[in-house]
Structure 1
Amino acid sequence: MSRYGEFAYVYDQLMADVPYDDWAEFFNQQVAKAKTKPDSILDLACGTGELSVRFAQEGFSVVGVDLSDDMLMVAQEKATEAGVTLSLFQQNMAELELLKEFDCVVIFCDSLNYLQSDKEVQETIQRVYKHLKPGGLFIFDVHSVHKMKDVFGNQSFSYVDEDVSYIWNCTYDDTDMRVEHDITFFAYDEEMDAYHRFDEVHAQRTWSIDHYQSWLSEAGFINIEVSADFKMSEPTSNSERIFFSAQKKEAE
């Protein structure tokens, strides 16, 4: 699986239309609904820091964790440019180990789908629980089964721009609801005055809503809520992005 090497440096250009503001707004809605007043956020799989920087600009104390050193380097550059402070750590979310508890933990942008086994997802949820303060809030989103099967499926996509282009082929495996994304990039190199090709392979897997709910309950979470596509409404058969919100039990 790719660790976002060269891809980290063209990621934001390719993701310019991604609705990060919608994630930030959804987070604020969930916090208001839970009637909590968080000060600290752990942004797991923070990537290039788009959401981490937004949270920091809103006054939160933010820690970002990502598997890719390259992504974290870009995130640090963004934080510096924005004049905010981020604490950034390179870790696998399934092996999360920080000497701190947080008011909120988020895993946004379907990042949890990059875990490839039941065990990895369960361990991540359990470690999130341990890193939350009593009453703390855990929010994450995943691709729905419908999106993996019917939207990605065995489809091909392409994007052409002067600076970077790609050819993206998806291969769907129905046995474990897994999609392999095989992407070939062509990025313009100013020094060489030529296009540089590099390839990335990313695998994503999802599970049923019932599986995620069960794993959250087993970890000790309460007040588990499920919604879809940045709305507070229940998922339907055509929903593409499933959101989960859950709380750690208050201290006894």
Structure 2
Amino acid sequence: MQRPPFTALAAVYDAIMADVEYEHWADFVLTYSRDGGLEASTALDLACGTGGFTRELLRAGLRVHGVDASPEMVAVARERLPASVTLSIGDLRTFALAETFDLVTCVFDSLNNLLTPAELGAALRQARAHLRPGGLLACDLNTRLGVRELWEGNAIEGLARTPDGREVHYHWSHHYDAAAEVGVVQAFCRVEDRAGGWEEFTEEHRERGYDPADLEPLLAAAGFARWEIVEYPDYAPPSANTPRVWVFAWA
């Protein structure tokens, strides 16, 4: 059954993504923040999904507000996070909260789901609007190369288990639509249900790659005072062969 992006996937997302190094990403971001003179106490985690990165910010002692466009993903986050974390449903391009934050984050190439520079620019403006003066935006994006060559062999597959022991078989295939300059992932999952049967679904996910040269004018137009675009985990300048970059932009 074909489902919209980040709907059916929410129930098995954490099982499939169990190896994602959210803890190391949080250390990477917070180390950069501290080295830049910002001791953040509040954070806004955009595209928070099921709350993997949100939880690491909370563990680091920050008061965190998470925002995501998927009600299904937010529902899972609500189950796994303590009540002290505020969660909201909102579009990255248009969300509006009545507060500003020391730190705004958006990780795991979530911004690549915005398929035009105009959409990405709108999201960057909203992020900037929710930063206090001197605050920091930290986000990662797949480059054009990263979207074209997402996975070796253009597929990943495997077996995972949900916390209650049910099997999840997944096969995700990727192709690059050169005319649209968009990478397309067909995410197929076969999930064991509680009665011992199986449920199947497919979601289509689309991403556009953005290089540093694409990002810099958008950051300037969004009103950021200065920024740095680097590689993970050593903060090195990206090269033409870098598949994913991290952006640190100061309000």
Normalised TM-score (structure 2): 0.92
Corresponding residue to 1:201 among 204, 222, 228: 204
Corresponding residue to 1:13 among 15, 38, 44: 15
Paired with 2:220 and 2:23, the residues of 1 have a C-alpha distance of 29
Paired with 2:231 and 2:180, the residues of 1 have a C-alpha distance of 22
Please show how residues 14-29 of structure 1 align to structure 2 within 5 Å. Answer: 14-29=16-31
Q: Deviations over 1:145-167 (max 9, x none)?
A: 22212234882332234601112
Give unmatched runs, 5+ long, in structure 2: 162-166
Q: Deviations over 1:157-185 (max 9, x none)?
A: 32234601112121202344311111211
Per-residue deviation at 1:4? 1.2
Cα pair 2:228 2:248 within 8 Å, conserved: yes
Q: 1:92 to 1:154 in 2, by over 3 A?
A: farther
1:113 alignment partner in structure 2: 112
Paired with 1:210 and 1:165, the residues of 2 have a C-alpha distance of 39
Q: 1:183 to 1:156 in 2, by over 3 A?
A: same
Among all aligned residue pairs of Structure 1 and Structure 2, give the percentage whose two residues are the same amino acid: 27
Cα pair 2:150 2:174 within 8 Å, conserved: no
RMSD: 1.7
2:158 alignment partner AA: Y
Corresponding residue to 1:174 among 169, 178, 193: 178
Moved over 4 A (4+): none
1:160 alignment partner in structure 2: 159
1:126 alignment partner in structure 2: 125
Cα pair 1:229 1:239 within 8 Å, conserved: no
1:113 alignment partner AA: N
SS at match of 2:141: strand
How many residue pairs are counted as aligned between the two chains?
A: 244
Q: 1:197 to 1:246 in 2, by over 3 A?
A: same
Paired with 1:122 and 1:239, the residues of 2 have a C-alpha distance of 22
1:228 counterpart = 2:231: yes
Q: Deviations over 1:81-103 (max 9, x none)?
A: xxx61100000111121111111
SS at match of 1:216: helix
2:191 alignment partner in structure 1: 187
2:220 alignment partner in structure 1: 217
Cα pair 1:56 1:85 within 8 Å, conserved: no
1:45 alignment partner AA: A
Cα pair 1:143 1:241 within 8 Å, conserved: yes
1:99 alignment partner in structure 2: 98
Paired with 2:93 and 2:31, the residues of 1 have a C-alpha distance of 27
Cα pair 2:5 2:204 within 8 Å, conserved: no
SS at match of 1:94: coil
Q: 1:175 to 1:153 in 2, by over 3 A?
A: farther
Normalised TM-score (structure 1): 0.91
1:74 alignment partner in structure 2: 76
Q: 1:135 to 1:152 in 2, by over 3 A?
A: same
Per-residue deviation at 1:207? 1.8
1:242 alignment partner in structure 2: 245
Paired with 1:153 and 1:205, the residues of 2 have a C-alpha distance of 18
Q: Deviations over 1:116-169 (max 9, x none)?
A: 111110111111111111111011000122221223488233223460111212
Give unmatched runs, 5+ long, in structure 1: none
Paired with 1:26 and 1:157, the residues of 2 have a C-alpha distance of 26
